[in-house]
């Protein structure tokens, strides 16, 4: 392991502190960067995520993708967690904490909006960052691509009706620009670039060229992750400083949801006797969220300064540190799985 991978927790912690500090010292700079967006997708964050995803896309071997269907258990696990369990546990935890446990600290209107934001996070499974988590756990890139692709297809049809059912709203407008642009930016373009790069490297007939190239890209992938953390915390630096109690209240059920869903998925993966390079990415997809979509829908339904929008933003802040802790756990427990 290189110095970046070995001290990942330290680098992420320093990036969080740097983001909060810089966001308060230079709010105008971060506001300008935050304004570089299209269809609620920040183009600078998209660039850094692209840097993270590209190395894994180079590793995808399309001659092996067709074999994924011979191992359907990982796909079934991902789909069951994402669409039959996760949205409903998120809604339950939102109700439990903001209608019961935190009822004395949060007014009813704000509580409803926080619950709505949590639900929107729960109905939007991860599209982009899961490639990063898969790479960090040495996941099967071919299997991960198929898992993400199938989830994206289902999300096109299932997001609106499930969100409407749980929110009690019948006229939810899915921001199709955000959904489609994110899929193109985070899946299609890096995939095409990865295929082209792999083809060029393999043309020489020497497999070592591909291995050397992907090895050289690893530090850039980690730097892309750290830069993303700095930006995300910098964007919300003022909120973190001005509303720490509200953020903590929202973060508690989100943390329970994240760790709980991962524990359920990881246990099921072990019971299904999945190989680790399939089990780890399958659990990461079910645990992380498509935060661009959740934020966009929250803003369109409830407004930019609503409690729902704040809850989705807290989900963004919580996700990276928590997912890195789950990556570390998955790597330490690799021996629990075959293969």
> What are the tens digits of pLDDT across the range 203-261?
766 567 777 787 777 778 778 878 888 887 888 788 888 888 888 999 999 999 999 99
Mean pLDDT in residue range 303-320: 80
Instruction: Provide the pLDDT confidence category of residue 280 given band limits of 50, 70 and 90.
Output: very high
Check if the beta carbon of residue 52 is closer than 8 Å to that of residue 221: yes
**At residue 148, does pLDDT exceed 90?**
no
- Joined tokens for residue 298: 């929250």
Q: What is the pLDDT of residue 334?
A: 92
pLDDT at 63: 63
10-43: pLDDT as tens digits: 787 888 899 989 999 999 998 898 888 877 777 8
Q: Across residues 144-173, what is the average pLDDT?
A: 78
Q: Using CA atoms, how far apart are residues 232 and 223, in angstroms rounded to an integer?
A: 14
Q: What is the pLDDT of residue 92?
A: 93
Q: Where are the beta strands (DSSP E) in the chain?
A: 37-38, 41-42
21, with CB counted inside 10 A (0-12, 13-18, 19+), is middle
- Supply the pLDDT for residue 240: 83
The Cβ of residue 298 has, within 10 Å, a number of other Cβ atoms equal to: 27
Cα Rg of the chain, angstroms: 19
pLDDT at res. 4: 60
Mutual angle of helices 73-80 and 141-167, in 10-degree steps: 20
Please tell me the predicted confidence (pLDDT) of residue 65: 59
Q: Categorise residue 116: left if φ over 0, alpha if ψ from -120 to 50, beta otherwise.
A: alpha
d(CA 36, CA 231): 12
313-339 per-position pLDDT tens digit? 888 788 888 998 999 999 999 999 875
CA distances from 210 to 42, 62, 112, 238 (A): 31, 15, 51, 44
**Owning domain of residue 98:** 3-336
Q: How many CA atoms lie within 13 A of 323 on its CB side?
A: 27
Give the pair of three-digit tokens for residue 306: 């609503």
The number of folded domains in the chain is: 1
Query: Residue 172: its pLDDT value, please?
Result: 54
- With tokens 């992420």, the residue in question is 12
Whether residue 170 is predicted with pLDDT greater than 50 in this model: the reply is no
Per-residue pLDDT at 175: 67
**Which pLDDT value is given to residue 3?**
60
Calculated CA dihedral for residues 23, 29, 30, 32, nearest 10 degrees: 160
Mean pLDDT, to the nearest integer, of 94-98?
A: 93
Quote the CA–CA distance of 93 and 37 in Å, as a whole number: 32
What band does 90 get if pLDDT is binned at 50, 70 and 90?
very high
Average pLDDT score over the chain: 82
The pLDDT of 78-90, averaged and rounded, is 92
pTM of structure:
0.79
């Amino acid at each position: 392991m290189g110095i970046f991978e070995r001290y990942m927790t330290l680098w992420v912690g320093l990036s969080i502190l740097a983001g909060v500090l810089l966001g308060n010292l230079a709010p105008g700079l971060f506001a300008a960067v935050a304004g570089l967006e299209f269809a609620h997708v920040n183009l600078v964050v998209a660039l850094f995520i692209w840097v993270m995803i590209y190395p894994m896309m180079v590793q995808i071997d399309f001659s092996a993708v067709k074999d994924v269907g011979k191992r359907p258990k990982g796909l079934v696990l991902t789909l069951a967690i994402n669409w039959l369990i996760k949205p409903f546990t998120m809604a339950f935890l939102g109700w439990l904490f903001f209608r019961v446990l935190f009822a004395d600290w949060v007014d009813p209107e704000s509580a409803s909006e926080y619950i709505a934001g949590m639900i929107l996070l729960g109905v939007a499974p991860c599209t982009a960052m899961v490639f990063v988590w898969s790479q960090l756990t040495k996941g099967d890139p071919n299997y991960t691509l198929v898992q993400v692709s199938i989830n994206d297809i289902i999300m096109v049809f299932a997001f609106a009706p499930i969100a409407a059912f749980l929110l009690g709203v019948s006229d939810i407008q899915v921001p199709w620009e955000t959904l489609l642009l994110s899929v193109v930016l985070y899946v299609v373009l890096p995939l095409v670039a990865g295929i082209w790069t792999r083809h060029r490297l393999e043309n020489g007939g020497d497999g070592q060229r591909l291995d050397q190239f992907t090895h050289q890209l690893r530090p850039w992938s980690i730097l892309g992750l750290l830069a993303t953390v700095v930006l995300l915390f910098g964007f919300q630096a003022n909120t973190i400083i001005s509303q720490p109690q509200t953020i903590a209240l929202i973060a508690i059920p989100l943390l329970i949801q994240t760790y709980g869903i991962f524990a359920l998925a990881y246990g099921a993966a072990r019971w299904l006797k999945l190989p680790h390079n399939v089990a780890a990415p399958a659990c990461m997809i079910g645990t992380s969220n498509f935060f661009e979509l959740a934020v966009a829908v929250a803003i369109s339904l409830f407004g930019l300064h609503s409690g729902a929008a704040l809850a989705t933003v807290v989900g963004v802040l919580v996700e990276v540190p928590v997912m890195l802790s789950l990556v570390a756990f998955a790597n330490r427990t690799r021996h629990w799985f075959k293969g």
